[in-house]
Amino acid sequence: MTDPADLDALYREIVLDHHRNPRNSDAIDAPTHEGEAINPFCGDEVHIKIQLQDGGIKELSITGVGCSISQASASLMGEEIKGKTAEQITGLAEQFNALMSGSADSMQSDLDVLKGVKRYPVRIKCALLAWSALDDALSS
């Protein structure tokens, strides 16, 4: 059986890797939707540009500044939503919110590495910031 401390270390390494090497951060041509979210309490920012095609996300660009949790969550979210439809994204958002609120123990996704955030209520908003930016973009 795997030692929980080993899993925590692995999760921390994945989060730090996504913070140091964010995925989908290159600019995209002709975004169809843009959104942003800012946490006024800590100054974290996430900006997202999306190109929708045939009902799904063809390309996206996520940029911002902030703590490792907010930026890693944005990077992980970007990897998870690329190619998905709005309906699929809504389902993922609901699952991730349930994970952060503690009403779900895990989810079948790479986003599961952020489940430890729920132990630190002040950091939950950091993990959800990218999802707010995504909602802003899809609502525009």
Amino acid at 112: D
What is this structure's pTM? 0.89
pLDDT value of position 114: 92
| Mean local confidence (pLDDT), 57-61 | 95
- CATH code for the domain defined by 4-139: 3.90.1010.10
Query: In one letter, which amino acid is 84?
Result: K
Cβ burial of 55 (10 Å; 0-12, 13-18, 19+) is exposed
Which residues are CB-contacts of 23 (< 8 A; sequence separation ≥ 6)?
75, 76, 78, 79
Q: Is the confidence at residue 4, as pLDDT, over 60? A: no
